[in-house]
Structure 1
Amino acid sequence: MWAVYAGLSALFASLTAILGKIGVQGINSNLATAIRTIFVLVMAWGMVFITGAQAGMKDIGGRSLVFLMLSGLATGASWLCYYKALQVGQVAKVVTIDKFSLILTFLLAALFLGEKLTLKTLLGGVLITVGTLVVAL
């Protein structure tokens, strides 16, 4: 089932780029990000209440809360940069460079989470890097 959700995530991410590029035309990219974030917030909290997950709020520990807040700040910074890049750049190039985060994630997961970099992961990372350079240059 995770693969279905991952596929849907890819579909929605591609729509995010296309719809965002159209939506950011003629307005400040920071304002566009803020408007988009309102809808993300409403949708996320809506899903929490629809699924009854709000009951789990009392179980969130301090460590989890700190890391979720840091993740939220990283997401916000990513979105601000992404929408500015979409505003001034070509979608195909922006998205390709943005997806280079995969390589950074492989490396950071190995460094901070102790995840193993397998030969398959390294080979995939090299191919993604080459593909990123081909599209971006």
Structure 2
Amino acid sequence: MKTWLAILALSAAVSATVPAAAQSGVPAAALSDTQLPDPRQEAEANALMQTLRCLVCQGQSIADSNADMAGDMRALVRRRIAAGERPEAIRAWLVRRYGNWVSYDPPLSAITWPLWALPILLVLAGAVIARNSFRRRPRAS
């Protein structure tokens, strides 16, 4: 019994330190949370950041995520926009580096066509099932 209590206490102590160890001690990138001085450039950067997926959170854009990686990506986008690079070129570079998954709007290709076709196929299947379910059946006398 004493051994189990010691194991439980050790597990609790280790578990309590895991969230603290997950946080990075590195300071945030310079432009991760600071807007560009030019409103037009900041609008371009923000529009691009809304369309890029956070690689850590997976469900948020880099504009909405608090992850360190998203902050680094925001800073990269702002730095490149401030240097005069076009948003399309920045997106293309990020897609080459991280793959199509980084974009919320992946192109239609041999790999992604099932993802585009699946909703249509599901609606058609539902329509067929509904039609067959609601057909008039002859009354039994």
TM-score by length of 2: 0.24
Identify, as 1 or 2, the structure richer in helix: 1
TM-score by length of 1: 0.25
Larger Rg: 2
Question: Highest relative contact order (Cα 8 Å, sep 6+), 1 or 2?
Answer: 1
